[in-house]
Amino acid sequence: MRLHFWPRTLAAQLVIVTAAALLVSNLAVALWFTRGQQQQTETAVIDRLVDRTISASTLLASIPAKQRTPAADALSSGPWDFKVHRGPAPFADMSPQEHALASRVEGLLPKLKARRAVLVAFRRPTAADYKRRPNTESVIEVMVPLVRGTQLITTFYHPPPPPWPVQSIVGAVVAILMTSLATALVARRVTRPLSKLATAAGEAARGGAAPRVPEEGPSDVRRAAVAFNAMTDQVARTMESQRQLLSAVGHDLRTPITAMRINTEFVEDPDTRERLTKNIEELQELTEAVLSAAKGVGWEEMRKVDLAALVESVCTDLEEMDKPVHWTSHAAAPLSCRPNEIRRAIRNLIENAIAYGKRASVHLNAMPAAYEIIVEDEGPGIPEADQERVLEPFVRLESSRSPETGGSGLGLALVKAIAHGHGGSIRLINRSEGGLRAILCLPRETAAG
């Protein structure tokens, strides 16, 4: 499942990861030191427990029996409680840890007392314990023999560990904030040129003139900006060179075509003259298509238009030329685009549908993020294997379309270039009821320039 709360920008991710790493490291260090401090405290408590038990038992064994209970009460203070016990032991079974402490105490007792068992108990506090010592986490009891039939029970009421000091918490928070701020500054220095680089690359991908990227930031990012600027300059020079070449060829072809057209008038045989005229017209159409392609896309300024009105005007112009076009009216569809390019793309799609599919049905589909201009015909359609290939320049599918209408093979390629120049796309789909559906998709948010 995708984490919806995870930020999408690199700067925010760096800040969050750094702050989380610092928080985890601080918690780990705090837990490590707390654990070590607790172990040291436990060792110190056991040492004090053994020392006080041995000292108290030695003292109480040396005084008269009647004075032992008052003396034990006098020794009791704080978390320590001493009690003289007569009779059977209140606890007997011991764990390995309790056995180890009992053996340690036995080793420090006088030999006569060491012959008798020392009992140790680690237990949870009871209600009576909480009543005597409210602030108790655990209880340790050690019973050692005083004289025959009398034992000393030393009880230690272990308090809970102290809470983390406020100074440490404040220090950790300040460290996290300062580190996050430093990370944000570094991330901004890295991500700002990367964001400009991504914007420029997106503009180039949409067919526009990519702006130069500032060559700033860390050395790695700066080298990427230098390489991108060099690449875009080279691509721009190459495209301009190809455009000038095509334009020159197209213009140079116009003069001999005109001369050939004049010379055909002097051909006496009508059939020969008709064939020559037809060939010259095809050559003229091909030349105009090359010139149109040489003009390319991206030369026109973006401006806001009503896409529905633009499509309707194209359909109306073709209807006035007695072309079989049907337009389904649509509400206003504001779009920022290059209107002459969009007009040319729509006209190419409609004329293509009429040429190969008898008639064209045009309608507009408004979606939240884009508009779809849909042109449908009633022709034979295009095999799925050729639907992508037919969008390339000079590709003609006479074997699957009408052999009477070849065309130059540049119409759909120009539509594709115009669509990509606006950040959109062109799709060709065979209709289930027969015919082809061409979908020109134009995003509502397109790059200007």
Whether 237 is covered by a domain: the verdict is yes
In a domain, 166, yes or no: no
Bridge partners of residue 306, in order along the sequence: 334
Q: What angle do CA 398, 413, 279 make, to 5 degrees?
A: 50
Tell me: do 18 and 139 sit in the same domain.
yes
| DSSP string covering 52-70 | HHHHHHHHHHTS-HHHHHH
pLDDT of residue 192: 78
Distance (Å, rounded) from C-alpha 406 to C-alpha 408?
7
**Residues 207, 122 within the same domain:** no
Q: In this structure, are 108 and 221 located in the same domain?
A: no
Q: Give the pairing of strands 138-147 and 150-158.
A: antiparallel
In the chain, % of residues over pLDDT 90: 17
220 vs 408, residue with greater confidence: 220
Cα–Cα distances in angstroms (integers) from residue 253 to residues 41, 193, 286, in the given order:
99, 47, 10
CA distances from 167 to 37, 160, 281 (A): 17, 20, 90
Q: Is residue 61 part of a domain?
A: yes
Classify residue 351: in a domain, yes or no.
yes
In this prediction, residue 328 has a pLDDT band, given cuts at 50, 70 and 90, of very high
CA distance 383 to 172: 67
Instruction: Establish if 402 belongs to a structural domain.
Output: yes
Q: C-alpha angle 390/394/396, rounded to 5°?
A: 50
CATH number at residue 388: 3.30.565.10
Number of domains in the chain: 3
Whether 117 has a pLDDT exceeding 70, the answer reads yes
Q: How many other β-carbons are positioned within 10 Å of the β-carbon of residue 350?
A: 27
SS3 207: coil
Based on the fold, state whether residues 325 and 405 are members of the same structural domain.
yes
309 pLDDT band (50/70/90 cuts)? very high
Query: Hunting for tokens 């060939």 — which residue is that?
Result: 279
What beta strand segments (E) does 37-137 contain? 80-86, 119-123
Q: What is the pLDDT of residue 408?
A: 58
Is residue 101 in some structural domain?
Answer: yes
What residues does 439 pair with on adjacent strands?
Answer: 374, 427
Q: Which domain holds residue 123?
A: 10-158
Is 43 part of a structural domain of the chain?
A: yes
Confidence of residue 371 (pLDDT cuts 50, 70, 90): very high
pLDDT of residue 299: 62
Instruction: Summarize the confidence of residues 117-123 as an average pLDDT.
Output: 87
- Whether the per-residue pLDDT at 238 is higher than 80: the answer is no
How would residue 290 be classed by pLDDT, with cut points 50, 70 and 90?
low
Q: Is the pLDDT of residue 350 over 80?
A: yes
Neighbouring CB atoms inside 10 A of 123's CB total 12
d(CA 67, CA 84): 10
Residue 268 scores a pLDDT above 50: yes
Asked whether residue 221 falls in the same domain as residue 150, the answer is no
Q: Do 26 and 119 belong together in one domain?
A: yes
Q: Which of 57-71, 286-300, 310-324 has the lowest mean pLDDT?
A: 286-300
If asked whether residues 22 and 140 sit together in one domain, one would say yes
Q: Decide which of 282 and 155 is more confident.
A: 155
CA atoms within 13 A on the CB side of 448: 5
